[in-house]
Amino acid sequence: MPADDHAPPPAPDRRTFGRLLQALASEMNLLGHDFAASQGLHATDVQALLAVMGGSAGPSAEAGGAATPGRLREELGLTSGAVTAVLDRLERAGHVHRTRDSADRRQVRVHYTPGASRVAMEWFTPVAECTDTVRAEFDAAELRVVARFLERMTEELERLRLDRRREAAEGGAH
């Protein structure tokens, strides 16, 4: 029986997926490092900034719609002192500001400075344009599959990271 010239290629194997995901993660990481350098920040500062930006709507949101230093410490796996240093740098650079909670003055809230979004937008708009260029190569059904894959990968990697941190905190890390 002759080979079907119209048969789809075989699905990428585990190694291929791993290599592709690693390459994508590496490029995104390098873009983040370059943004940090352009702002006089550390790479960890960019991770904290993303957590603060997501903190007003994401799972790390607390009452009042802002991240807290404690949540950043947990999310980023940093010490309290390291979080303070990161927030000091981000505040000096004009990316965040801290406020005291009105109900509990001991509680500090970290807010993304809306004016700082202009700087990030200028830097990351070309990334969005790259996304648009690539998205245009796929139909809606393919994009739904890609989005579902990326969402599930993110969920599983987050679960793995949190499990490992929990094991390390319990003294069972290998």
- pLDDT tens-digit map of 111-149: 888 777 788 888 889 999 999 999 999 999 999 999 999
Look at residue 3 and tell me if it is in a domain. Answer: no
Residue 72: inside a domain, yes or no? yes
> Looking at the domain assignment, is residue 53 inside a domain?
yes
Residue 92 and residue 152 in contact, taking contact as beta carbons nearer than 8 Å: no
pLDDT at residue 144, as a whole number: 97
Beta bridge partners, 110, equal 67, 98
Q: Is residue 55 part of a domain?
A: yes
Q: Note the pLDDT tens digit of each residue in 43-63.
A: 999 889 888 887 644 444 444
Q: Is residue 42 part of a domain?
A: yes
The predicted model scores a pTM of: 0.73
Q: How many other CB atoms are there within 10 angstroms of residue 42's CB atom?
A: 16
The range of the structural domain enclosing residue 96 comes to 38-116
CATH number at residue 96: 1.10.10.10
**Distant-in-sequence, close-in-space partners of 70: CB < 8 Å, separation ≥ 6:** none
